[in-house]
Homo-oligomer: A and B are copies of this chain.
Amino acid sequence: MAPKVTVEYKDEKRLAILDAALHCFADKGYRDTTITDISNYLLMSKGSIYIYFTSKEDIYKQLMENRMEWMITQTSSKFGELTTASEKLRLLVRMFTDQTLDDLKELLSFHLEFMLISSRQNSLKKVMHKHIEMATKFVQDIIDEGKDSGEFRSDTDSYTASTLFWALRDGLVLHSLGIDVDEEYKAHMIGMEEMLFRYIATL
């Protein structure tokens, strides 16, 4: 009696908006990107966006949730298989090292700003908290695995080490935001890898 448009279609659209929003937020920041910016980027009307999201903040929040999901699928597919804890950790670092600085900036300037904003906006805190928890847990598990296998020092506090890992990554990206040279960023990431392993590796 009525086609209504498939669920797939709607979901695709939702994702397209999220994608456009990520682009805009990364480019101009949350407060400075307008709904009009997003709709222009999509060649879509402003009103349409509100069919899929209830507010600008809703887009922001769902974007973060989306990124979380993405991270889960991404990592679980790559890490689930085999490898030692050391290899896993090295792979993780290299996932960041191997991206171009531009790609990374888009992704992470959104990420970093979300951390900042969510610390002031109660409605976003929970999402951020969950994200951090998840990420921390992920690295913590690898470290614990390495402690068990003897690759990593047994006196390592895996929770602290995991936090240091992500802090280092985020801090490095934050400092790279003002940098345009890929090489410099790469050098820093290699430094990070070295620093990390001197911290936790046995011997």
Residues of chain A touching chain B, judged by Cβ–Cβ distance below 8 Å, are 2, 27-29, 31-32, 45, 109, 112-113, 115-120, 125, 128-129, 132, 157, 160-161, 163-164, 166-172, 174-175, 177-178, 187-188, 191-192, 194-196, 198-199
Contact = CB atoms under 8 A, between A and B. Distances in A.
Nearest to A112: B116
B129 A178 contact: yes
B177 A166 contact: no
A178 B113 contact: no
A18 B128 CA distance: 31
B168 A168 contact: yes
A174 B29 contact: no
B163 A167 contact: no
A119 B178 contact: yes
13 contacts: A113-B116, A116-B116, A125-B178, A161-B191, A163-B172, A163-B188, A164-B168, A164-B172, A164-B195, A167-B174, A167-B175, A168-B171, A195-B195
